[in-house]
């Protein structure tokens, strides 16, 4: 069982300090929505973001989008052995139902996230288990809730170790957890790495979030011999 947390993710609605920026006011008028219900996106709000604090780590919803598609489409997830959370740079967390089929199209993903930030869950009124639930909580609170027994953080500032070795150790724990950064540049804040039991660097260069997510999950599957098990089912059922 693996708990994946995409942490300090660059996913948020346009922050109050930008609401009066001319480009944002124009956008708000065109879209007929208040900026607090529009996702911050560097592709479109680059100029407005210039003066935003910590801006190199913010405004990249595409990172969460790709990373979630990698996670939810994995055999590990299909076997119900993966639990996925998103934690954002503004201390919002998103619990992702493993059966959620997220939109492949980016604009539709953005609309879904905007609805989630407004209503707190999607779909808003379903009687069944929601696909996504939003909470205002810190990473520390989320980790406590997820009850991981051993938490690994992957970051370039960690101890150099191959992913193979790292994950094969991790898979020995009953409720293993892993933190992968959901931002485009920079490092985890110290408060984040202090929450981890182990802090590891898996490559000499920065790797993209979706690449790390995909590799972590695949190594975890390998550690459980899942590829072989699933193929032998194919043989016996065909």
Positions that interact with a copy of itself (CB under 8 A): 41, 43, 60, 62-63, 66, 69-70, 73-75, 78, 103-108, 160-164, 201-205, 207-208, 210-211, 214-215, 218, 222, 227-228, 230-231, 233-235, 237
The least distance separating a copy of itself from the CB of residue 214, rounded to whole angstroms, comes to: 4
Radius of gyration of the chain (CA): 18
The least distance separating a copy of itself from the CB of residue 142, rounded to whole angstroms, comes to: 26
CB nearer a copy of itself, residue 131 or residue 167: 167
CB nearer a copy of itself, residue 31 or residue 108: 108
Alpha-carbon distances, residue 138 vs 7, 158, 225, 228 (angstroms)? 10, 22, 34, 38
The least distance separating a copy of itself from the CB of residue 233, rounded to whole angstroms, comes to: 5
CB nearer a copy of itself, residue 148 or residue 166: 166
The least distance separating a copy of itself from the CB of residue 51, rounded to whole angstroms, comes to: 22
Alpha-carbon gap, residue 187 to 157, rounded angstroms: 8
The least distance separating a copy of itself from the CB of residue 41, rounded to whole angstroms, comes to: 8
Alpha-carbon gap, residue 101 to 91, rounded angstroms: 24
CB nearer a copy of itself, residue 65 or residue 121: 65
Burial class for 25, CB neighbours closer than 10 Å (0-12, 13-18, 19+):
middle
Contact of 173 with 149, CB cutoff 8 Å: yes
SS3 55: helix
CB nearer a copy of itself, residue 7 or residue 200: 200
The least distance separating a copy of itself from the CB of residue 120, rounded to whole angstroms, comes to: 26
Q: What are the tokens at 148?
A: 């991981």
CB nearer a copy of itself, residue 38 or residue 207: 207
Query: Any idea what DSSP says for residue 8?
Result: E
Between helix 209-223 and helix 163-170 the angle, nearest 10°, is: 60
Give the torsion sign (CA, 87, 93, 98, 101): negative
């Amino acid at each position: 069982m693996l708990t994946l947390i995409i942490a300090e993710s660059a996913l948020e609605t346009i922050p109050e300090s930008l609401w009066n920026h001319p480009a944002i006011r124009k956008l708000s008028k065109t879209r007929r929505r208040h900026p607090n219900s529009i996702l911050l996106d560097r592709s479109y709000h680059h100029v407005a973001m210039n003066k935003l604090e910590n801006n190199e780590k913010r405004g990249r919803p595409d990172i969460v989008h790709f990373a979630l598609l990698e996670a939810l489409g994995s055999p590990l997830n299909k076997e119900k052995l993966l639990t996925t959370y998103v934690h954002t740079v503004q201390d919002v967390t998103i619990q992702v139902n493993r059966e959620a089929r997220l939109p492949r199209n980016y604009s539709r993903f953005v609309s879904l996230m905007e609805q989630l930030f407004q209503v707190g869950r999607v779909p808003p009124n379903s009687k069944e288990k929601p696909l996504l639930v939003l909470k205002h909580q810190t990473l520390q609170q989320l980790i406590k809730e997820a009850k991981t027994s051993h938490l690994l953080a992957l970051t370039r500032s960690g101890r150099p170790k191959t992913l193979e070795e790292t994950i094969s150790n991790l898979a020995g724990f009953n409720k293993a957890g892993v933190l992968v950064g959901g931002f485009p540049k920079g490092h985890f804040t110290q408060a984040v790495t202090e929450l981890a039991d182990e802090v590891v660097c898996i490559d000499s260069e920065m790797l993209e979030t979706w690449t790390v997510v995909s590799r972590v999950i695949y190594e975890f599957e390998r550690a459980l011999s899942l590829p072989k098990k699933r193929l032998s089912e194919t043989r016996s059922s065909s």
